[in-house]
Structure 1
Amino acid sequence: MNTADWKNKLAQVQPRNEEAAQQASRHVNQLTKPLGSLGRLESLAVELAAMTGEPFPAVTPPGVLVFAADHGVAAEGVSAYPQEVTAQMVANFAHGGAAINVFSRQIGALLHVVDVGVAVDVDAPGVWTKKVRPGTASFLRERAMTREEAEQCVQIGFESAEAIIDEGAKLLIVGEMGIGNTTASSALLAALTGAEPDELVGRGTGVSDEKWQKKKAVVKEALSFHQPDAGDPLDALSKVGGLEIGSMAGAILCAASRRVPVLLDGFISTVAALLAVRLCPVSAEYLLGGHRSQEPGHAFALQTLGKEPLVDLGLRLGEGSGAAVAFPIVEAATRMLREMATFDEAGVSSE
C-alpha cells in the first residue's frame, strides 16, 4: 500500500460550487411558502447543492463507516469499560445488534465496519479487516504509533470511503468503536488547538470522578511528554491519536474529494474532521454538524470548525449513531428542494 496516495488526491478537493448554490437558493425562494419560513432547512439545502455541485442534490442512500481500534492508553485506567469490549462490540456490529445498526436500517444506509486496529482478531461476518497494528501503544509512555502507521490509517480511511461511495453512498457518516478513544481525542484536540485539557476532557462512557481526574492527568502528562507539533497534524496523530481517528480523517478527505457531504457524529468524529481540515483546509466546506454530544470537548471542536449541529439530544454513544439520527433532517432539506411545488406550478399567488 502506498501511503502517499491520499496526499496526491488532496488536489481533487475543490471549493464548493457557488453556481449550484445560487440555483438552489433561487428555487427555494420560489417554493410555496413564505420566504425563509422553513428556516435552517433552506440554508441546509443550499449548502448541500454547493457541496455536491447539483442544484437538486440527493443524499440517499447515506453510507456509514464504523472504524474500530484499540488504545493502549486504556491500560492507564481512563475508561469505564475493559479493552475486550472493543472486539465484542465489533462482533455486535457485524451481527446487526448495535445502535448504529438499528439507526442505519431506519435510514436505509449502506453500512460497513472496518477493523483498523482491534487488539485481537475479530472473526465476524462482513467486517473489513485492514489492521494497521493491534491497538496503539499507551501514549502516556511512548508514541501511540509511528508516523508511517499514522499515514497508513489515513490511507485506509480514504480507500474505505472510496469503496462505499462507489457502492452508491451519496452522503458519508463516519463512526467509531474503541475503548479509550475519548482520551485520545481529547489529547489530539488539545494538541491541534492548544486548548487546556481541563476544558476538553469529559467522562466518555461515564467514568467515576476518580477516573475522570485520572483521565485529565493522563492527557496533560502525555502532552507535556510528547510536545506534539500543532502545525504538523500527522505528528500529533502519531503521538497521541488513535488508529480509527486517522482512518476517519482519511474517509472525510475522500468524501470531500468526491463532492460527497459528510454528516459529523460526536466528539471523536468531529476531532477526526478537525484533523482532516488541518491536512486539507478546503475539506471543511463538505462538513455538516450532525449533533452536539455531552462531551465538553465536542462543543469546542464544533466551534473550532465553525459548524452548528442540527440536534442536541444529550447523546454520548458514538458509532455514528447521532449523525444517523440527524440524517432525516438532511434528507428533508433535499426533499423540500426536489418535491415541493413552486408558486407557478401550484397556481398559487406569490403576492
Structure 2
Amino acid sequence: MTEFDIPVPDERARTAAQDRLDGLVKPVGALGRLEELAAWLAAAHGSVPPAELEDVRVVVFAGDHGVTRAAGGGVSAYPREVTAAMVRAFLSGFSGVNVLAAQVGARVDVVDIAVDDDLDGVPEAVARHKIRRGSGSIDSEDALSPDEARRAFEAGLRIADEAVDAGAQLLIPGDMGIGNSTVAATLVAASLGLPAGEVVGTGTGIDEVGLSGKTAVIEAALRRAGDRASDPFDLLTALGSACAAATAGFVLGGARRAVPVLLDGVFSCAAALVAHDIAPEAARWWLAGHRSTEPSQAFALKTLGLKPILDLGLRLGEGSGAVQAVPTLRAARGVLAGMGSLADLDIG
C-alpha cells in the first residue's frame, strides 16, 4: 500500500566492504558488530569506505498526550506541564540530549508539534509545524482527526527533507511528551495484536499501582479502537499522537532520501513500526541506537528486524540513547578507512 519510492542500498558496496573487512589485519570477523555496521554504512553511502558522519541531526518532536488525563490517571510520574518546560530546556542547551549530543558534535533541534502551551517567548520557528495543542485521551476518544494525522505525518516528511537538504548525513528522531510511553505501548500492542500486559512499562518511573492503572488505560484504548490498526493512518488517528505521526513521517522521510536514520527508544521505534506499515522498504535505512527498558520496544525491534547497538539501561528519550551510538558508527567507518590489509604484512 506504499506510495513512496524507497531507494535500495548499494549491495555491491556492501559486498566490497565485507571483502575488505575479511582481508584486514585481524582474524576474519574479529571485530564483530563493528564489521556488520561498517558494511551497512558502506551500502547506505554506496562507497568503501563510507563517508565520514560529520553532520548528525537530532530532531526532538515535542507534544502533550491527552492520555495523561485518562480516567484513573497515573500513567506518568510527572505532570504534563513538564513537556513545555523541557522545550525551553532544549532551547537553552542544558537537557540530557543537548549535553550528550555535544559530545559527538550533533545538532539538536526541537519541534513543537502539539505542546499544550503557547510557549511565549520561544522562537516562532519551533512551532511552525504545530498541528494542535495536545491530543485526545486515547482510552476514551481518538488522539487526532484524520486530517491532523496526515498533516503531522507530512510535517515529519518535510522536516526530514529540510535536514537532508541542509547536509544531514545521519538523522536521529527524539521525543518529548509526558505520557509518550503509554502511547508508544498502545501503538505497538495494536499494530502487533499484543495484550496490554505484555507491552506496558514503567516509563518515567511509576510504581506498581501506577503500572496497574497504566495497563488498564492501554486496555481501554485497545478496546475502543477495535480493528483500526489495519490502516496505519487510522491507527495514528485512533491511538497515536501528533508526535507519533510526525516521527513516523520523519523516519520514513530519511529513508526516502537515502539517509541513514538512527532510532532512539520506545517512542521512535513505535512510530517506525507504523512507518514500516506504510512503506516496509524504509526499514533498510534504519538502525536501532539502543535498547530501551520499555518492553514494547523489543517487540517493535523484532518486527523491524533491528538489533540495538547499545544496551545501557536508558529510558530518558529525547534521542539521548541514539546519540551515544554515533561514536560506534564512526568507529565502524574508521575500521574500513584506516586498517591495513593482511596482504600488506611482511610476515616472510
The TM-score bracket by the shorter chain reads over 0.9
Q: Name the CA distance, whole Å, in 1 between partners of 2:336 and 2:241.
A: 39
Instruction: Report Cα offsets for 1:23-61 as digits up to 9, x if no partner.
Output: 211222222222111111011111112223233223222
Report the Cα offset of residue 180 of structure 1.
Answer: 0.6
Corresponding residue of 1:124 = 122
List aligned pairs for 1:128-139, cutoff 5 A.
128-129=126-127, 130-139=129-138
Is 2:79 the counterpart of 1:86? no
Corresponding residue of 2:34 = 41
Corresponding residue of 1:52 = 45
Q: Name the CA distance, whole Å, in 1 between partners of 2:346 and 2:321.
A: 40
Is 2:76 the counterpart of 1:106? no
Larger CA deviation: 203-212 vs 123-132: 123-132
Report the Cα offset of residue 272 of structure 1.
Answer: 1.0
Instruction: Report Cα offsets for 1:311-337 as digits up to 9, x if no partner.
Output: 111100000000011111111101111
Corresponding residue of 2:302 = 303
Corresponding residue of 1:74 = 68
**Residues 53 and 259 of structure 1 are in contact (CA less than 8 Å); yes or no, is this contact kept in structure 2?**
no
**Residues 64 and 320 of structure 1 are in contact (CA less than 8 Å); yes or no, is this contact kept in structure 2?**
yes
What SS does structure 2 have at the residue aligned with 1:330? Answer: helix
What SS does structure 2 have at the residue aligned with 1:139? Answer: coil
Q: Which amino acid aligns with 2:40?
A: E
Report the Cα offset of residue 338 of structure 1.
Answer: 1.5
Q: Name the CA distance, whole Å, in 2 between partners of 1:190 and 1:176.
A: 19
Report the Cα offset of residue 349 of structure 1.
Answer: 4.3
Pick aligned residue for 2:55 from 58, 61, 77: 61
Q: Name the CA distance, whole Å, in 1 between partners of 2:252 and 2:40.
A: 18
Report the Cα offset of residue 169 of structure 1.
Answer: 1.3
Corresponding residue of 2:269 = 270
Larger CA deviation: 117-126 vs 282-291: 117-126
**Residues 228 and 238 of structure 2 are in contact (CA less than 8 Å); yes or no, is this contact kept in structure 1?**
no
What SS does structure 2 have at the residue aligned with 1:301? Answer: helix
Report the Cα offset of residue 343 of structure 1.
Answer: 3.5
Q: Name the CA distance, whole Å, in 2 between partners of 1:111 and 1:24.
A: 31
Instruction: Report Cα offsets for 1:100-120 as digits up to 9, x if no partner.
Output: 001111111122111100011
Q: Name the CA distance, whole Å, in 2 between partners of 1:228 and 1:333.
A: 43
Instruction: Report Cα offsets for 1:54-101 as digits up to 9, x if no partner.
Output: 332232221111100111111121111111100000000000010100
List aligned pairs for 1:243-258, cutoff 5 A.
243-258=242-257
**Residues 290 and 322 of structure 1 are in contact (CA less than 8 Å); yes or no, is this contact kept in structure 2?**
yes
Gaps of 5+ in 2: none
CA RMSD for the aligned pairs?
1.6
Is 2:151 the counterpart of 1:157? no
Q: Name the CA distance, whole Å, in 1 between partners of 2:329 and 2:194.
A: 31
Q: Which amino acid aligns with 2:122?
A: A
Is 2:181 the counterpart of 1:171? no
Q: Name the CA distance, whole Å, in 2 between partners of 1:38 and 1:119.
A: 47
